[in-house]
Structures are given as structure tokens and as C-alpha cells.
Chains A and B, each alone.
Chain A
Amino acid sequence: MTPFHTVTGIAVPFGAANVDTDVIIPSRFLKTVTRSGLGASAFDVIRSDPGNIFDTPRNSGAPILIAGDNFGCGSSREHAPWALADMGFRVVIAPSFADIFSGNAYKNGLVLVELPQEQIDRLMSVAADADITVDLENQVVTTEYQDRFAFAVDPFRKAALLSGQDEIGLTLTMAPAIERYETRIADERPWLAGAAARRF
């Protein structure tokens, strides 16, 4: 995972609320066996319109997306953050995000910034002609018009995003605790092991 510190660039003022994962990447494009290459199919329905907001010369390849409430609702497909990342996005700014999407985004180095709707509205208007800066270290969104919006971020996720660390590697450092737990439940709840095999 690429470490994330500060990103400055064009923000796409998309703004729509309740953008579900079928909008981000329709299920018919999930038939891949690799993580890359989904950007071309992202927001397929919206982008079938030639004048769409994502493919203007200014917005194409922009690193920041501004959206409305409950972004990423629906399915657990990690193809959604893969597709956004493949389009070039490194940050999504919205008033709120759906749970599973939020976990998936962070695991792929996609930074989610939650800001109140009035600050979103301000950024939507600024984004038309100015760059936006997202500084994860200092947890602040700034613009060249002196806007300065602080945002909250889970400390664990922040550390992982800043370092780009692999969560599996981190968990494997806790292998002795895992082994102790396994030994204990093999004794306390013995019916749980060997579940995949038929017994009847």
C-alpha cells in the first residue's frame, strides 16, 4: 500500500448522496481475477453520458472526489475502492460513508474524509476553479482561499495509511496470542473445529 501524507489537486464536485456500490462499479464488471483495470468501468452508467463530470479534461484523473451522504452503501465488493483508485482517486470527501465501504477503502489506501454538509457545499463551489489539499498527518482540508476544515480519523487507520503498512503482517506479529486462543477454544468449544467436513 502506498503511504499517504498530503494530496493537493483537482477535486471532482460530484456531490450525489447515497451513491451505492452498483453505481461505483456495476456487478457485471466484477468478473476479474486481479485488482487492477476497473477504473475504465467505474461509474459506467453516469459516464455513458459524454458530458459527464468525470471525463471532462479538467476532472479526468483527479485525485479527490467530493460526494454526498452515505457514500458507498450496498455491497461489500472491494472492487468499489479498487475502481476508484484505478480512476486515480486517493481521497473521497463526503458527509458520511457506509461501513463496509469505509473499511475496504482504508485497506486500499483510499482516504475518506468526513466533513459537515456546509463545508462540503463550500468545497463543491471552490473545486470548480481551485485545487484542494488533504493533509492526513494534520487532519485538515485546505484551499487556496484560506478555507481550513479539520476532520477526524481513526488513529489506527491513520497510522496504517501514513505508513502504508500491511495489516496481515501486523496481525502475524500477534501469532502467539492467536495460538493461545486456538488452544483454549479447542478445549472450551470443541465442536467448532473441522467444520468444513461432513459429519452426517
Chain B
Amino acid sequence: MTNPRTLYTKIWDDHVVEQRDDGTALMWIDRHLIHEVTTPQAFEGLRLAGRTLHRPDLTLAVPDHNVPTDHRFEPIADPQSALQVETLTANCAEFGVEMIELNAAAQGIVHVIGPEQGFTLPGTTLVCGDSHTATHGALGSLAFGIGTTEVEHVFATQTLLLKQSSSMEVRVTGSLGYSISAKDVALAIVGALGTAGGTGSVIEYTGDVIAALSIEGRMTVCNMAIEAGARAGLVAPDAKAFEYLRGRPRSPAGAEWDAAVAYWRTLPSDAGATYDRVVTIDGSAIAPLVTWGTSPEDVVAITGVVPSPDSFADASKRLAAAKSLDYMGLAPGTRLEDVVVENIFIGSCTNSRIEDLRAAAAVARGRHVASGIRQALVVPGSGLVKLQAEAEGLDRIFIEAGFDWRAPGCSMCLGMNPDKVPAGERCASTSNRNFVGRQGPGSRTHLLSPAMAVAAAVTGRLTDVRELMA
């Protein structure tokens, strides 16, 4: 009788190419997603060393980070961005890598297109030169972000030298209240663990709340595993995951599909498997959350107030909170609902899938963006999400409500393409990071869910969507 194993250990065990005496293992990588920003130096490295790309059939490229989300059929105006996209195109041609072109219908954010294309599969190891790669864990893929040197290593060998991480179970019990979304769950988890709480760990999300989430919702939760410092986030693959993947463009077909599903059914953690650490969160108690500071752990219920730096026990936290509030232009004790915003961003690898747009449109329907809002962007995660939303008439709802309906890309999440938040202005944003300058120099970010972002758009201030919809 073998010992009970976790989902993480099962995937790990099935990917060990060679266990080494120094505690590291050479691990096989099943899937490699690449984009324009973190790969040019890796291709350059291959070229300089005269090496080939070992398994182009397991590598899929898409430009997303610095692409403009409007005027898409004109050349990219920023010469450096244009050079990165051109470099990706040339490198993919040279090394035989399949690339989804900028204006192809399937183009989108790398973490949206992987699952959407059926490229992401349960029980695989998947890497990408981007920390939000954990998103793919929603389908039971051990997925994590890597640096450019590791990208080059995967190019050359389809492996990585890794050390097994510790395991953590994050159990979200109960059921979510009215208007509470996967984003609120993700923020609640980061708030509970802190940005370093998961360091060195792979998180498996379990419990009734996670089981009840759609695959899209699970992606939102796994996406922010890195915001708690974790290497990866995982959800056990179940019937929902199989249904999600069936018939997708790059999913297995026919007899291979049946064999794959049979294997996937063996993956969930065994009864009696243990984790190095278990954290339980009461899902029924989660309120709509927003961030007040410059770290994703700075979460507070929309019904709450901006905390005082003095309320933190730890001296370095007190200092960090004071600096955050200074940067954010907020005073302790301010009600979150009194915070006026000028920019709205609905998009990013956290919240740009069809379900997110449906949740946003449900609030936007019949309402209008407030007069003080300077920019209100809705940026679908992929061209296919955009087409689906348009088929459902969601684009009309957004446009009639005064939102700007854009083409897919990372957009205003990270301030490296034309979509930016001006210095000193606030943004109610469905993205994943509220770091200093993240959405542009001097930008002030409040992270929240798609429904909450629309609520902020229509009132011009952070707003409890439950009251708006009541």
C-alpha cells in the first residue's frame, strides 16, 4: 500500500526525470507558454550557444503584455513595444514555435488563452515567464512563473532543475453570500496569508466554496496565489474541469481524450494525504473586498474604513502602512465608500474571462458611468472572449453605459502599454497588483471584483455593489 499523496505530490512524482543527490530533481515540463516581454533574451541565449529549441510542439506563443488595446490594425506606435512583438514573431519563425498572431481571433492574455485553447491540461507541469502562471492551476496543472534564464533552460531541454516545495491547503468553507465573487475569495486569501504567507509553498485550494466555483472563478483564485507569495496554486480536477476542456482547439480528442480523463481522475489528493500547513477561511463571512494600500494583502471590506498604521502590531508593517497611505493619499479612518475614483479597469489575467464580463455587465445594464470618471476600460482577456461577449450583447451594455470596449491584452494592469492611470489619480481595478506605480507612475490602485468595479464606475466612488443592486 502506497502512502496517501496530495495532488501536488502526484504531479511532481510523474514529472521527475532524474532525482539528484543534492535534493534537486530534473523535472519534465509539459507545457511552455511564452510572450514578448520575457523571452527575447532567452532566444538570444539559445542562438549565442548554438542550441536548438528541444520541443517546439509543447511551446505556444502569444503577444499580450505591451500590445495596445485600440487601433489594432495600425502598426504599434511605441517603437520598443513594436520591436518586442517583431522579435517574438521572428524568433518563433526561426525556432519553429506556434504563435497566435496579434490580430488572430484567438489572441489574448497568455493566462486566458492557455485554458481557453485546451493547451493547459490537468496533471501537467506548465511554465511561463510570468508570475501569474499559477492561474492554470485551476485546471489541476502545476503551473508557475519562471525567469528568462529558466525560459531558456526549458527551450533547450524541456526540463527545469527544481526542489520540491512545501504543501499548503487553503480550505474555504461554507458558501458565498450575494454578489460575492471569486475575486473576493482571492483577496480574502491574500489578506489572510499576507504577501509572504505562502513563500516556498504550493497551495491546494479546497472546500465547498472552491468546489462550487466555476473554472473561471477558480482561475481568479489561483491567479493570485503569487500575491500570497506561493509558487503555485492548484485545484483538484473534477467533472467541471473535464467539461470545460472537452472539444477545445488544443484539447486531446477521441481515444486520447478518454485516456486523458482516466488519468486525470487519479489526480485528486488521496484521503488521508497531509499538507505541511492548513489554513481555513470561512467563505460565508467574506464581504466585497477592496484594497486600501500598495500591497495586495492590504484588504478591507467595502463597509470598513482605512486602517490606522498604529493598528499594526509589527513596526515594519506600521512603517509600510504609513508610506502606503501617503502614496495613496488616504487618511486613516476614511470610509472606503467615500473614496472617489477617476479610472475604472475591468480586465487582466485575474478578471477578463466571459464570466467576469457577464458579472460586470449585469451591474452596468441600464446604468451609466459617473461624470467624474475619466477612463472606464473593459478589456476582454482574449479575442474569443470578446467575440462571445459580443454574441451575448455585453459590448452594447458596456458601450451604452459609457465604458470603452477594447481589444484583448494586459492593458491597464501593468503600465507597459498605452493604457495607464495618470499620476495622482485612482483606479478601481480588477487586476492583481496595487504596487506603487504599477498602473503608471504615481497611479493609485484599488483592487476589487468586476461587479464592484462597475459599481464604482456608476457612482464615481468605491461602492458596495450589494447596495447598488438591492
Contact = CB atoms under 8 A, between A and B. Distances in A.
Q: Do A and B come from one complex?
A: yes
Interface of A: 17-18, 20, 22-23, 26-28, 30-35, 45, 68-70, 73-78, 81, 96, 98-100, 103-104, 107-108, 154-156, 159, 167-168, 170-172, 174-175, 177-178, 181-182, 185, 189-200
A41 to B, nearest CB: 12
Given A26-B437, A99-B229, 10 more contacts: A18-B195, A27-B416, A78-B41, A167-B161, A171-B159, A174-B18, A181-B17, A182-B158, A191-B259, A200-B118
Contacts of A192: 30, 58, 121, 124
Nearest to A15: B316
B374 interface: no
Nearest to B56: A196
Given A74-B131, A168-B157, A191-B252, A96 B199 contact: yes
A87 B213 CA distance: 46
A44 to B, nearest CB: 8
A23 to B, nearest CB: 6
Contacts of A167: 149, 153, 161
B83 A33 contact: yes
B436 A23 contact: yes
Nearest to B156: A168
The listed residue with most A CB atoms (<10 A of its CB), out of B98, B319, B437, is: B437
The 9 closest A-B pairs by CB, nearest first: A76-B145, A191-B252, A78-B147, A104-B147, A31-B80, A33-B40, A196-B98, A191-B256, A107-B149
A171 B153 contact: yes
Interface stretch (B180-188, B243-251, B302-310, B395-403): B243-251
A138 to B, nearest CB: 19
A155 B163 CA distance: 12
Contacts of A181: 17, 28
A67 B433 CA distance: 21
Nearest to B230: A99
B98 A178 contact: no
A195 B416 contact: no
A34 B44 contact: yes
Counting chain B CB atoms within 10 Å of each CB, the highest count among A27, A73, A78 belongs to: A27
Interface residues of B, number: 88
Contact of A70 (B199, B226, B433, B441): B199
A80 B250 CA distance: 34
B225 to A, nearest CB: 11
Given A156-B24, A196-B58, A172 B156 contact: yes
Contact of A172 (B81, B157, B438): B157
B156 A195 contact: no
A76 B263 contact: no
B278 interface: no
B263 A189 contact: yes
B263 A196 contact: no
Given A18-B295, A22-B436, A107 B150 contact: yes
Given A30-B416, A191-B256, A196 B436 contact: no
Contacts of A75: 130-131, 145
Interface string B293-316: 001000000000000000000001
A23 B81 CA distance: 21
Contacts of A31: 37, 66, 78, 80-81, 83-84, 416
Interface string B146-168: 11111011001111010100000
Contact of B320 (A18, A30, A76, A199): A18
A20 B435 contact: yes
A120 B251 CA distance: 51
Interface string B255-278: 011011001000000000000000
A86 B6 CA distance: 42
B130 A197 contact: no
Given A74-B131, A191-B260, A178 B17 contact: yes
B18 A17 contact: no
Contacts of A185: 28
A171 B49 CA distance: 14
B414 interface: yes
Nearest to B42: A78
Contacts of B97: 196
21 contacts: A17-B319, A27-B414, A28-B416, A30-B65, A32-B80, A33-B40, A33-B41, A34-B40, A73-B229, A75-B145, A76-B38, A99-B229, A104-B147, A104-B148, A155-B23, A167-B153, A167-B161, A178-B26, A181-B17, A193-B58, A199-B250
